[in-house]
Structure 1
Amino acid sequence: MKKIYTLFLALIITGSLMAQTPQSFKYQAVARDASGEVIADQAVGMQISILQGSTSGTAVYVETFTPTTNEFGLINLNIGTGTVVSGDFTTIDWSSDTYFVKVEMDMTGGTTYEEYGTSQLLSVPYALHAKTVKSITESQISDL
């Protein structure tokens, strides 16, 4: 009986771990100064906004970061994990509209942000695949 209980508990824990998706997505940029030179090994201030509907749409989520660039000026962020300024990343209804990422930076590491651009968020391969999966029948599950 003890073995069955332990096995059942392990299956529940494993199932709940597999069902969790990260509430963030990756973002990379290269920091350059006004003359195009790479800003290497330096802390920069960044503000990321998720805009709804257009490049000038409503900011549904805003967060800040202070990453340090590497020797090539590369910055790696996980959008959704920064210091929240406004909004709630987990409540964004990604299916309701188009969304855009606005990037603002302060090359001195402060909070006097300058806009560097806004880009539309597009599907990633996992999302494109998920769109094709509408339902799974009981017979398909038993085939696994």
Structure 2
Amino acid sequence: MDLAKQHAGTVTAVLNAVNAYAEWVPVTDLAKYGLIHGCGSLLSYSDFRLHACEFFKVICQRKRPVDVAVAEYDAAMCNIFQVLMNISQQFLTRSGMQPSSIDESEYEFASCVCETMVALGSSNMQCILADGARTFQFLQQVSISKYSHTFEE
């Protein structure tokens, strides 16, 4: 059991370092070197999901720089968009099927995902609007989230 705790501690330390890098490393480099994919994979693990979601929140708050390759940057942001849509859909499905199984940590994570999606839409809406299907998916997901949340209160 100690080994598992050590591994978890190592992953958490790496996520903390990655979150610091996310503030200044070009988004295209984060994508190129697999950090977006890696953090997306960690969203499924309860021990790491908040740290991984923070990574995405930091990136989503950044606007596209003028000196970056537009296609590469937008592709990275679209990848993040898809990761966030998938994880939010999983939560909505789970909470809709078994609302009593959702605990406080699940709601905290869902709140972080929502904040991240808002940041993505606020700072990088051009990536979402570039594709009609993606725009529809985003608006549908936001509507479902809002509609579901309205009845829970």
- TM-score normalised to structure 1 length: 0.27
Question: Higher helix fraction: Structure 1 or Structure 2?
Answer: 2
- TM-score normalised to structure 2 length: 0.26
Greater C-alpha radius of gyration: 1
Question: Higher strand fraction: Structure 1 or Structure 2?
Answer: 1
